[in-house]
Each structure stands twice: as structure tokens, then as C-alpha cells.
């Protein structure tokens, strides 16, 4: 429940409950008072009837005695009796000192009817003697029981009303404290703990309201910060490792260049053959350093928000261009090459960078393939049938790439890569033990890392799949323009 809805319901509950309580108490008191009224009326009627028998005697009115006393009446303080003669003059009253003269209109008004008021029940009747009016009597009974009952009900109702209001306000305060104060305090404590360096802090809040969203955003923000912090630490370590590696890789050729240059300067090289050999070595070392610095520059560019400047190309024509010139590289090492291309649709690519990806992969494949071995290369749309040389293991690995696009596959004979090396193969400056042992190896360990970033910039992916008893298959997946458009429409 959203907080706005919760607050509206809480306010309505606080506002309407007292009104509802008053209505219920009013109805209950009204019903009770009606029942009490009926009982009181019956009791008054019985008591009035008892006094009527005592007062309906003509002799009390014909020969009134100034000292007349009616002990039965005077004994009850809740009963007031007044006797009048035929002319309306009071001749007896239970109230001492009461003398009153009724007018003729007042004398005959409301005769023989019990008059109910909040305080009393009153009955006034005529007294006859042989058909002549000899007097009147008026009996007034105080309704003390009814007044006491109503007074008690009023006090009880007020007490119930106050108690209900106290309970409602207490419940509202408790609910607000539970729904607002406690969660907000928990968020504040968690923020303070995280600010003090406690990265394990986590807010658990089950309600799906605004505070729940706040807690979820805090947890997400904290996780993102921790992830970014971890990435920054990794990047820092990578930079430190990069600096150390570059320093080491530059130191060796620079030492050689310095040594040969000093020999030239001192004139120690007299032999023409040795002179050409040393000069060639200096040039090779310079080329090596240039390639390393180019790789480093490319790597730094790709780690930033760098726009590759993609252009639209026709798939099969583009792949023909990528695969051209590879036969000569294989022949130099007496390797046999089998190629196949079956690509449809158009693609957005940076031709220069995609060429670099293929060159990196092919160079690695040739370097790790034994002499007189074999390499298979192919480019296939994801909806075509693959040739037999892809093998079942390779086909299973390609199942994850089913969106419209193409696979660039390069398989080389050799030793399948170990599982532990697959995870590190695309890390910067990583070189396998076998690679480091080769004398002709001239890389610095950025080729595959750069290839992975290039494929990622293209919206694709790259991975290596070891094929038992054959070698390794390098997979590059590149989405087509159709796939990119569908992704944008879904977003």
C-alpha cells in the first residue's frame, strides 16, 4: 500500500471513528432510555394509582382541616401532593408553606392525563360528591431514578467516547511510528553505518510503498557503489600491473638499442655483416616498441566512451575482405587452410577494428598450430547449417547466440586450452606459458583483450571453445542490423 493511500485511510479512520462512536452511543442510549421510559411510566402509573385511592375522598375537600396531615404522602420525599377546592384554592400541600390559587383555565387544563417531563410525572384529577365537583388533587412524582440513569449513561458514554478516542489516537500513533518513523530511522542508521565504512549493511523492508522503494534504491545504490569501488580497485591494480609490464617490456629493447648505438658511436663494429645485423635488430626493437605503444593507445581508447564510427556493410562481401591474404600467412608455416562463408543481412562495423580482431585471432591460431597442421575459418549467419568441421562441441557452444547475426569461427589444430586459462585469456597483458616460451612471439598480451573490447563495442561477444582431440575454436558473434533494430524497439 502506498503511503498516500495509507495516510488517507489513517486520517479517515481518525476522523470518522469519533463520529461513528457518537452515533453508536447515541443509538444505544436512545434505545436504553426508551426502555427505561416505559418502565418508569409503568412504575409512576402504579404509584399514582395508589395515591388516587387515598386522595379521591370528598370529605378531604368539603371540610378541609388547616392542620390536616397525610402521613403516607409526606413520608415520600419524591412525591408532591396538592389539594384544591372547587374554586382552585389550595387547601393542602405536602410542601410546607405552599399556598396557591389556580385560575379556572389552569384548573381544568390537562385533567386526567399523566404529564411527563424530564423531572416529573404529574397527574391532576377532579373529585366528585354526588355528581358535584368538590375539589381537585394534583400528584407530582419526581423521576429521580430516570434522571440518575440518564446521568449515569451520559457519564458512561463520555467515558467510552474519550476511551475510544484515546485508543484510536494511540493506534494511529503506533501505526505511524511503525510505518514511518522506524523505517526512516532504520534508513538513517544504515546510511550512517555505510558512511562509516560498513559495506555489509543491508536494509530489509517488506512493504511495497515509497519507503520500500527508498530502501530498495539505497540497497541498489550501495551495491552499485561497492561494485564500482571493486572495479576501481581492479582498474587501479590493472594500471599498476600495466605500468610494471610496460616498464619491463620497454626496458629490454631499450637496453639492446642503447648497447648497439654505443657500439656504433665508439666505432667498435667494423664488420659490414655485423653492422647490418645490429642495425636490423635496432629497427626490429623500435617496431616492437611502436606496436606495443599502439596497442596501449588502442586499449586506453577502448576503455573510454569512444565512438567507433560504425558504417553499414554487406555481410558476405565484408567477410571476403576480412579473410583475404590469410592463405599466404598459413603457407609460410606449411599450414593447410579451409574457408567457408555463408552470411546474409547487413552489419554495422568499424572495418579497421574488425580487421584487427581477425588478424589478432588468426595470428594466435597460426602461432599455436604445429607445422603442417590445419586451420579452419568460416563466417556464417546464425540461421544457416554449419559445416561438419565445427564439431558438435562447437555447435553446442553456439546455441547461446541465436539472435540474428553472424559467427566468425576460427579453429586451429593444437593443444586445447585449459579451463583455468579460459577465464584469464582475455585479460590485459595475459600470456600463456606456451606463448611466453616461443622465441618468435612478439606480442605484449593486449591483443585478445583489445579484441574483446572491440566486439563489445559492436554489441557482440568473443570466446574460446576447446575442442577435444582437435584444438581450439575462437568464436566472434556480431549482431546484424535487423537484430539491433529489434533491440531498440524492445527498449
Residue 269, pLDDT above cutoff 80:
no
CATH architecture, domain 3-148: 2-Layer Sandwich (3.30)
Give per-residue burial for 290-328: e unless 16+ CB within 10 Å, then b: eebeebbebbeebeeeeebebeebebbebbeebbeebee
Least confident of 187-201, 253-267, 424-438, 466-480: 424-438
pLDDT tens column, 119-176: 888 888 888 888 888 888 888 888 777 778 888 888 988 999 899 889 988 888 888 8
**The CATH number of the domain covering residues in 231-299:** 1.10.287.130
Residue 253 — very low, low, confident or very high, per pLDDT cuts 50/70/90? confident
Residue 346, pLDDT above cutoff 50:
yes
Task: Kindly report the pTM of this predicted structure.
Answer: 0.53
Residue 491, pLDDT above cutoff 60:
no
Predicted pLDDT of residue 83: 86
- Cα–Cα distance for residue pair 36/437, rounded to 1 Å: 112
Higher pLDDT, 275 or 484: 275
8 A C-beta contact, residue 81 and residue 138? yes
**CATH classification for the domain delimited by 307-490, as one of 3.30.565.10, 3.50.50.60, 2.60.40.10, 1.10.579.10:** 3.30.565.10
Residue 440, pLDDT above cutoff 60:
no
Residue 437 — very low, low, confident or very high, per pLDDT cuts 50/70/90? very low
pLDDT tens column, 321-330: 988 888 888 8
Least confident of 372-376, 394-398, 479-483: 479-483
Return the C-alpha cell found at 275: 653492422
Residue 250, pLDDT above cutoff 60:
yes
Beta strand 374-381 pairing with 405-413: antiparallel
Beta strand 374-381 pairing with 336-342: parallel
- Please give the average per-residue pLDDT across 374-398, as a whole number: 91
CA-based R_g, the chain, Å: 55
**Neighbouring C-alpha atoms within 13 Å toward the C-beta of 123:** 20
- Please give the average per-residue pLDDT across 261-268, as a whole number: 81
Least confident of 188-192, 240-244, 365-369: 240-244
Residue 278 — very low, low, confident or very high, per pLDDT cuts 50/70/90? confident
- Please give the average per-residue pLDDT across 178-182, as a whole number: 81
Mean pLDDT of all residues in the chain?
82
Predicted pLDDT of residue 374: 92
pLDDT tens column, 217-242: 888 888 898 888 888 888 788 777 77
Residue spans per domain, the chain? 3-148, 231-299, 307-490
Least confident of 109-118, 225-234, 362-371: 109-118
Residue 441, pLDDT above cutoff 50:
no
Residue 71, pLDDT above cutoff 90:
no
Residue 249, pLDDT above cutoff 60:
yes
Amino acid at each position: 500500500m502506498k503511503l498516500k493511500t495509507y495516510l488517507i485511510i489513517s486520517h479517515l479512520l481518525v476522523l470518522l471513528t469519533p463520529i461513528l462512536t457518537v452515533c453508536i452511543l447515541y443509538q444505544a442510549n436512545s434505545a436504553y432510555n426508551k426502555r427505561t421510559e416505559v418502565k418508569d411510566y409503568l412504575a409512576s402509573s402504579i404509584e399514582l394509582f395508589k395515591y388516587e385511592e387515598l386522595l379521591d375522598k370528598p370529605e378531604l375537600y368539603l371540610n378541609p382541616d388547616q392542620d390536616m396531615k397525610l402521613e403516607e404522602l409526606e413520608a415520600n420525599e419524591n412525591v408532591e401532593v396538592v389539594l384544591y377546592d372547587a374554586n382552585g384554592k389550595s387547601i393542602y400541600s405536602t410542601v410546607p408553606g405552599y399556598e396557591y390559587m389556580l385560575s379556572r383555565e389552569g384548573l381544568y387544563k390537562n385533567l386526567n392525563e399523566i404529564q411527563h417531563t424530564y423531572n416529573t410525572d404529574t397527574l391532576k384529577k377532579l373529585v366528585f360528591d354526588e355528581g358535584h365537583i368538590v375539589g381537585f388533587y394534583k400528584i407530582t412524582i419526581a423521576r429521580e431514578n430516570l434522571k440518575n440513569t440518564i446521568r449515569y449513561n451520559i457519564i458512561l458514554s463520555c467515558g467510552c467516547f474519550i476511551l475510544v478516542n484515546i485508543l484510536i489516537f494511540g493506534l494511529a500513533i503506533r501505526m505511524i511510528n511503525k510505518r514511518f518513523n522506524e523505517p526512516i530511522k532504520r534508513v538513517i542508521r544504515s546510511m550512517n553505518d555505510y558512511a562509516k565504512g560498513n559495506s555489509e549493511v543491508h536494509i530489509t523492508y517488506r512493504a511495497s510503498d515509497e519507503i520500500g522503494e527508498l530502501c530498495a534504491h539505497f540497497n541498489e545504490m550501495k551495491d552499485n557503489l561497492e561494485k564500482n569501488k571493486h572495479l576501481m580497485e581492479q582498474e587501479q591494480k590493472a594500471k599498476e600491473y600495466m605500468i610494471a609490464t610496460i616498464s619491463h617490456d620497454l626496458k629490454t629493447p631499450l637496453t639492446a638499442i642503447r648497447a648497439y648505438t654505443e657500439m656504433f658511436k665508439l666505432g667498435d663494429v667494423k664488420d659490414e655483416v655485423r653492422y647490418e645485423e645490429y642495425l636490423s635488430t635496432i629497427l626490429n626493437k623500435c617496431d616492437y616498441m611502436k606496436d606495443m605503444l599502439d596497442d596501449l593507445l588502442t586499449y586506453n581508447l577502448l576503455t573510454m566512451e569512444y565512438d567507433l564510427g560504425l558504417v553499414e556493410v554487406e555481410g558476405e562481401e565484408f567477410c571476403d575482405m576480412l579473410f583475404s591474404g590469410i592463405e599466404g600467412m598459413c603457407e609460410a608455416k606449411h599450414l593447410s587452410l579451409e574457408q567457408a562463408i555463408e552470411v546474409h543481412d547487413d552489419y554495422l562495423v568499424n572495418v579497421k577494428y574488425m580487421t584487427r580482431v581477425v588478424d589478432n585471432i588468426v595470428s594466435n591460431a597460426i602461432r599455436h598450430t604445429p607445422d603442417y597442421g590445419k586451420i579452419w575459418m568460416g563466417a556464417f549467419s546464425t540461421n544457416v547449417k554449419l559445416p561438419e568441421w565445427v564439431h558438435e562441441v562447437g555447435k553446442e557452444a553456439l546455441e547461446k547466440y541465436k539472435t540474428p547475426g553472424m559467427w566468425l569461427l576460427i579453429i586451429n589444430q593444437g593443444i586445447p586450452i585449459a579451463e583455468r586459462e579460459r577465464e584469464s585469456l582475455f585479460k590485459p597483458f595475459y600470456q600463456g606459458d606456451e606463448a611466453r616460451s616461443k622465441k618468435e612471439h612478439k606480442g605484449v598480451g593486449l591483443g585478445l583483450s583489445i579484441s574483446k573490447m572491440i566486439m563489445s563495442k559492436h554489441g557482440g561477444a568473443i570466446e574460446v571453445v576447446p575442442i577435444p582431440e582437435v584444438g581450439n575454436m575462437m568464436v566472434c558473434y556480431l549482431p546484424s542490423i535487423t537484430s539491433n533494430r529489434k533491440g531498440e524497439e524492445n527498449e
